[in-house]
Structure 1
Amino acid sequence: MAELDKFDHRLLELLQENARLTGSALAQQVGLSSAACLRRVQRLRESGVIERDIAVINPRVFGKRMTVVVLVTLNNDRPDRYNLLRAELAKAPEVVQCDHVTGAHDIVLRVKVADMEDYSAFVDRVLVQPYIKRYESLAVLGVIK
């Protein structure tokens, strides 16, 4: 990975907010020339600091107005059970983020659904498995960052 200086950090902050900023827009906010900003961004991409540029789609466009964070605990922390759950989650379009974590829980999910009825159907289809010990649902009231 590339060594990052204060200019790189500022560029990364700006690009996380809007990856489509032009060189001149970046230059105005970073204090370097447009060409220097574009060279740095290219270096950050080539070195793997910037892994990819994505489009963040407003889930409301698809009727997904509700976000639920789900904490999942498996019966036993065995690889075969983890792989079973992983396969189920990969097929579930409601799951927009899935992290394997340490601590009291094994998996943390970010689930987008239209409403509680949709969430209940997701639970019945995906989370009611014999290898899942328990799950905890946290409805997101708002996004802070």
Structure 2
Amino acid sequence: MAEIDNIDRNILRQLQQDSRLTNVQLAEVVGLSPPACLKRVKRLTEQGYIARQVTLLDPSKLGPMLHMVVEVFMERDHKHLFQAFVQRVQDTPEVKQCYQVTGEVDFVLVVMTTDMVAYEALCDRLLYSDPNVRKFRTLISMKRDKFETAIDLP
């Protein structure tokens, strides 16, 4: 993968803050002509630096929602069992993030559901039904003090 320079980093910083910027606006902010800026954005996308562009919604505007962090402890440490669990997580829309971690816990999930009934149904489908899940611990978020998606660029 090609190295990126300071202009590329600046483009990435700006797009992380507001991907709705037009190419003309972005070019002006980073000090390039619009064609040169567009060429760089295309290259950054083709090289995989820009994985996708999304719209972040404000969950508080969408009605009641529970945010939970779930620690999952597996019974056996076998790659194929972990892969099967990850595939089931991939197919579960309520799981917004999944991290395989080191230490006492095997996976950390970030989950969003409308209520406890929906969370219990998720547990039945994903956790209780998997014989390799030894136990899990649920932490319910009382409020979100920080949520950031931007990656710091040197």
Instruction: Pick the TM interval, shorter chain.
Output: 0.7 to 0.9
Deviation at 1:60, TM superposition (A): 6.5
SS at match of 2:32: coil
Cα 1:105/1:65, change in 2 over 3 Å: same
> In the alignment, what sits opposite 2:11?
11
> In the alignment, what sits opposite 1:136?
137
> In the alignment, what sits opposite 1:118?
118
Distance 1:45 1:87 in 2: 26
Any idea what the Cα deviations from partners look like across 1:111-143, whole Å, max 9, x if unmatched? 110022221221232111331122222223214
Deviation at 1:13, TM superposition (A): 1.6
Cα RMSD (Å): 2.4
> In the alignment, what sits opposite 1:29?
29
Distance 2:90 2:44 in 1: 30
SS at match of 1:96: strand
Distance 1:108 1:114 in 2: 20
Cα 1:50/1:117, change in 2 over 3 Å: same
Residue range with higher mean Cα deviation, 4-13 or 102-111: 102-111
Distance 1:121 1:78 in 2: 26
SS at match of 2:98: strand
What is the aligned length? 145
> In the alignment, what sits opposite 1:100?
100
SS at match of 1:80: helix
SS at match of 2:136: strand
Distance 2:90 2:61 in 1: 22
Cα 1:138/1:33, change in 2 over 3 Å: farther
Deviation at 1:44, TM superposition (A): 0.6
Give identity over the alignment, percent: 38
Cα 1:64/1:5, change in 2 over 3 Å: farther
Distance 1:64 1:111 in 2: 14
Distance 2:136 2:65 in 1: 21
> In the alignment, what sits opposite 1:49?
49
> Structure 1 length as normaliser, TM-score?
0.81
SS at match of 1:3: coil
Cα 1:93/1:61, change in 2 over 3 Å: farther
> Structure 2 length as normaliser, TM-score?
0.77
Cα 1:17/1:64, change in 2 over 3 Å: farther
> In the alignment, what sits opposite 2:152?
none
Unaligned runs of 5+ in 2: 149-154
